[in-house]
Structure 1
Amino acid sequence: MSSRSAAKINQYFRQTIPMMVKNNVPITPPYYTLWYSYTSGDIPELSTRIDDIVQRLGQCDRYMCDVLLEEFVVDAAEDTLAQVQSSINQVVKSLHASTESAMSHADHLNQSMSADIEKLSQEAIQSNTHSAYKLVSIARRFIDKTEDYRTQLEQQNAEIQALKAKVAETEKQLFIDGLTDINNRRKFNDDIALYTASADKTCLVMVDIDHFKPFNDEYGHLLGDKIIQTVAKTLEQSCIQIPGAQAYRFGGEEFAILLPNANLKAAIQFANDVRERISRLNLKNKKTGQSIRPITTSVGVAQFQPGESLEALLERADQYLYAAKHAGRNCVRAAVA
């Protein structure tokens, strides 16, 4: 897309976004990349497939788009997708600014012309000539046209405002884990860099569900997902007691918690509280109505050291997490304060 002119990208954008909205597809970078490719004709086979899907099903929704993404937009780099999202935001802001400017100019023109036409009308009455009245009539028709133009601009601006809200909502969703609705790994990467740079003390808590694979094998993946969701919600609720604390799904059955301005002793106490809360969870197998076996977690805690790299902090927290596993699981391990 970078080799095209800004005008061409703008043109494709104006075509792409309405198509995505019409097909009820979220405006996220992967989906936008897919539909941009369709609009621009960069991948003829993709365009043919989407046309066929729309003809057969009436629309190409997000689920069909997921299939097409796997086939046509494979392994899109995260930084590339972030650039696409940035481009979407910039174009929407540019459209909004252009429309606001046009509306302002239209208002100014109407005010100016209204005053001039009023003077011209008075002169036409005094001169009482056909040409003067005709000139006033033409001028009034012109100002009616500019008023129609301004009404169209208002409608366009309302559409752009709605689009801005939709893009903002979508951008927020980029940082939310789809399964658990808590912060995702991308948000963790952003926040840990911010916390370690601004907070006096920051502690990292890594949480891993013990023996998770047997849950899936014994009860099925749906219940496995329910366990992950319930643990995530427990972590999120636990964070409320510490100002600034945030929970994240780190990947799979592993989670992370950032505790800004917390010393190691407080972080260890928090980690133990969380571990105990999770161990008291009582989930039932919907098929049998029976309670499943207890859910336990292994927890590692590390405090950020001034000058330490983020990679080193993560590595230390991981070491303590695995130390908890080797100690028998369902326990917390941390550096000595």
Structure 2
Amino acid sequence: MSLEAKLTLVLVLSLAALAGAAGALLELGLGPWLALQVALLGALVLGLVLGRFVTSRLNKGLDALGTGLLNFKDNDFSVSLTHQGKDELANLARLYNEAALKLRAERAHIYQRELMLDTVLQSSPTALLLADQQQRLLYANPAARQLLAEGKGITGQTLDQLLAQLPQALADAMTAPQDGLFSLATAPEPEIWHLSRNNFQLNGQRHQLFLFKQLTRELSRAEVSTWKKVIRVISHELNNSLAPIASMAHSGRQLVNRPDPALLGQVFDTISERADHLNRFLQGYVRFARLPQPNCQPVHWQELLERLQGGGEFR
């Protein structure tokens, strides 16, 4: 029975008690006004008793619901409410329990995702460093702590305090306006790192994320692959030149016993041509190996374009 029906029943019973008591008092010989007053007082007492009985359960249920909502406010979703019957209070308790169950499941799912993300970040070889809008360090995974502070904690420091403790190459890379590569002098060979930074908004504040990725192994593998390609090209060119030379040498040895000036001339010309080709090929690699290191310096764009104009047409 709904709460409205219960209150209506209390009112009906009170009015019925009022009418019955007034009739009984009139039959006992009391005056109309006195009988009406006594009957009204009795009906009021009866209504209060019945109303108290009806609303006591409502008050207990509302108190329990208020306590549960306070637990929600404190992020405690473990409390459930008992409910009996099919009135509005039971429906509220049922809805509260469903909401608490859903919130518990969502929080468990979020916790599992955060745990998985934290595991990935903790075991990632990429160093991650997070700074807030005030340049205060909020997070650093183990790879970042090892790279920047030899494994020590750096959370809570400012970025300027951290930069003052870093090698110059690393500090210059972190203060540079763009992403790029930098080298750290370590034993037995220098390490090559790539630094990228991302800016994003979190809780209305600007945050900066630094990502350090070691490229030494990748560059070593790329260098080995390049050397393999170079060796294959050199081997191919050597075979193309040495095979005709070996064949012509064998032919020349046969012509020693039966001299033929014309054939000997062809043999020597072929050997000379292949030797010249091999020499040009090797000299090209020598010139490439002797290329100077790039030298960064200011360049006047107009003069540069004018010099390049001779090599091709610009549109």
Tell me if both proteins adopt one fold, taking TM over 0.5 as the criterion: no
- Which bin holds the TM-score, normalised by the shorter protein? under 0.3
Tell me the TM-score normalised to structure 2 length: 0.25
Q: When the two structures are superposed, what TM-score results if normalisation uses the length of structure 1?
A: 0.24
Higher relative contact order (CA 8 A, sep 6+): 1
Q: Which has the larger radius of gyration?
A: 2
